Amino acid sequence: MPRMGPRRGQNPGEKAKDFKGAMKRFFSELKPFRILIVVALILAIAGAVLSIIAPNQLSKLTDEIAKGLMQEMDMVAIKKIALILALFYISSALFTFIQSILMTDVANKFAKSLRTRISKKINKLPLRYYDLNSTGDILSRVTNDIDTIAQSMNQSLATLVSSVTLFLGTILMMFYTNWIMALTAIFSSLIGFVFMFLILGKSQKYFIARQVELGKLNGHIEEIYSALNVVKAYNGQKQADIKFDEYNKNVYEANQKSQFLSGLMHPIMNFIGNFGYVAVCIVGALLTMNNIISFGVIVAFITYVRLFTSPLSQIAQSMTSLQSTAAASERVFEFIDGKEMVDESNLTKKLKKNEVKGKIEFQNVVFQYDNNDKPTIKDFSAVAEPGQKIAIVGPTGAGKTTLVNLLMKFYDLDSGDIKIDGISTKELTRENIHDLFTMVLQDTWLFEGTIKENIIYNNEGITDKQVQEVCKTVGLDHFIRTLPKGYDAELSENDTVSAGQKQLLTIARGMLQNAPFLILDEATSNVDTRTEELVQEAMDKLTQGKTSFIIAHRLSTIRNADLILVVNDGNIIEQGNHDELMAKQGFYAELYNSQFEM
């Protein structure tokens, strides 16, 4: 349904939230997968523990070899230690492999669950939400942001846990081995912590900005390429390119700053690691010369320094990745937490198609779009009797389509009421109301599938004969039979089906639905004059016995309407049939005559 409210391009993700809060929400959403995650993390910890214990055995092996240089080697002891070392490293690698498989499975299942929730959420959000947010930004949340969450989770969560385990375990083992060497290694690496936390504090805002700006860029691309023919017709490529360059530059700058700051962590950690090697070698050599430690302890501490500094680097990288996750999850969960349409499970009243008489009353209806200064519809009242053909006319922006949106309960009324056969639409579910109406809109919508599937869409018990009859009625049968597979021909975005033919297909779809009410919103705007006559005849048959609402700019198409409502500034300024309104020589007569002026 066309939206009359302004699109503000608002991006809810522009508000930077607390990193801790975003991560807390992220981990709370992982509860359904907690068993697999716990198993994966236990395996990661087990692998890390084996890597921590291994240097102690390596120290023993080094000492045994050193003894062998002085006297005969104890090959039995060396083989035993070597076998234990091999067992440790193989087990650690196996645990890491299984953990990686589990985390990959969890990450993909979690991403799938998020996409499923968003898919369901899309149908629960009111149209007001889509008035305020661009399609491209919403698509960016479904694609880019969820992919970012899945990748970060797959790469960072287990790495972070194993790195913390390595870090803490290495400290314990170093103090257990020699406290002097332990302090040497720790103090030489302490500077890395300071730089890491300084960088994390500075870079988080840029990770959030990157996701937000990426959403804006995707929104712009979607808008431009969905109307590329219009952009080219008005030579708007230059303006579109300028806007694209602006958004692209913002993405580039945010990405550059975030990646630059986070990228500093790796070289800093490498420097600290190398500095630690040097410190350990110098202090270790002095202690060995004084017979305080053996040569094997130095070898073990060189390994411990690697195990100590490597987790720092991995923790830094994991935190960088988690920053991206926090920024992306904030946007995804903001969409999932969006205010939904009012729950209608408590509504029990229902109107059946075959029992509806067809009377509709608008009673002092008032409606205002979000962020609009004034109401679009103000104190609107009208009555449509059963079987009447009601035409709604007026200048652009007068509120014609908004009235239909309110009638279909796409928007909730600010005040007033709309009644169908005396029952307020507030007491009826949206699904019930939608079943009572056949809608043929100005905006055509076709999906990938056969022509027959597009026409039958969501209707049960429709025969091939019925499909062919409605296509003959609207003048589509000849065109369809010229296609290679006729009614079974596949439609896709690449097919050269004209706008008029698409509209005729949607009209045929509407004619198959046996509903007591009919809404035609500029249904013949994309067809030629001759086809319009054929469609008009079909519409006259379609409207027989139904209460119909017709929105039209071509006033010649509604001359036979039982009642014409002339709407301006959200209210009825004139009403009557065509002859009565023309006799008044008022606003309607001016509109009608203006279409024939040269």
User: What are the residue ranges spanned by the domains of the chain?
Assistant: 19-336, 353-594
d(CA 365, CA 407): 10
Tokens at 79, concatenated: 């083989």
User: What is the identity of the amino acid at 17?
Assistant: K
What is residue 417's predicted lDDT score, i.e. its pLDDT? 92
What order of strands is seen across the sheet that includes strand 547-551? 437-440, 517-521, 547-551, 389-393, 563-568, 571-576
Amino acid (one-letter) located at 278 = V
pLDDT at 11: 42
Cβ count near 70 (within 10 Å): 7
The 8-class DSSP code of residue 560 comes to T
* Mean pLDDT of successive 10-residue stretches along the chain, which has 598 residues: 37 49 77 79 76 63 54 64 76 82 85 87 82 77 84 78 80 81 77 68 73 80 75 77 87 82 71 75 79 74 74 72 80 85 83 85 87 81 87 80 85 89 89 85 78 84 86 83 85 69 80 82 68 68 78 76 83 85 86 68
CATH code of domain 19-336: 1.20.1560.10
Of the CATH numbers 3.40.50.150, 3.30.420.40, 3.40.50.300, 3.40.50.2300, which one belongs to the domain with range 353-594? 3.40.50.300
Asked whether the beta carbons of 273 and 309 are under 8 A apart, the reply is yes
Q: Give DSSP secondary structure letters for 387-426.
A: T-EEEEE-STTSSHHHHHHHHTTSS--SEEEEEETTEEGG
CA 334-116-101 angle, to 5 degrees, is: 100
CB neighbours of 329 closer than 8 A, spacing ≥ 6?
A: 22, 23, 25, 26, 29, 145, 149
Q: Residue 431: beta bridge partners?
A: none
pTM of the model: 0.62
Which amino acid belongs to residue 173? M
Residues 300, 270: Cα–Cα separation, whole Å:
19
* Kind of pairing between the strands at 415-420 and 563-568: unpaired
**How high is the pLDDT of residue 14?**
39
**pLDDT value, residue 597:** 55
Reading the block at residue 380, the tokens are: 């609107």
Place of tokens 């960016």: 140
Integer Cα distance of 375 and 571 in angstroms: 10
C-alpha 203/C-alpha 110 separation (Å) is 26
Nearest Cα residue to 336 out of 113, 74, 57: 113
Q: Around Cβ 90, how many Cβ atoms within 10 Å? A: 11
**The pairing of beta strand 571-576 with beta strand 563-568:** antiparallel
What is the model's pLDDT at position 1?
39
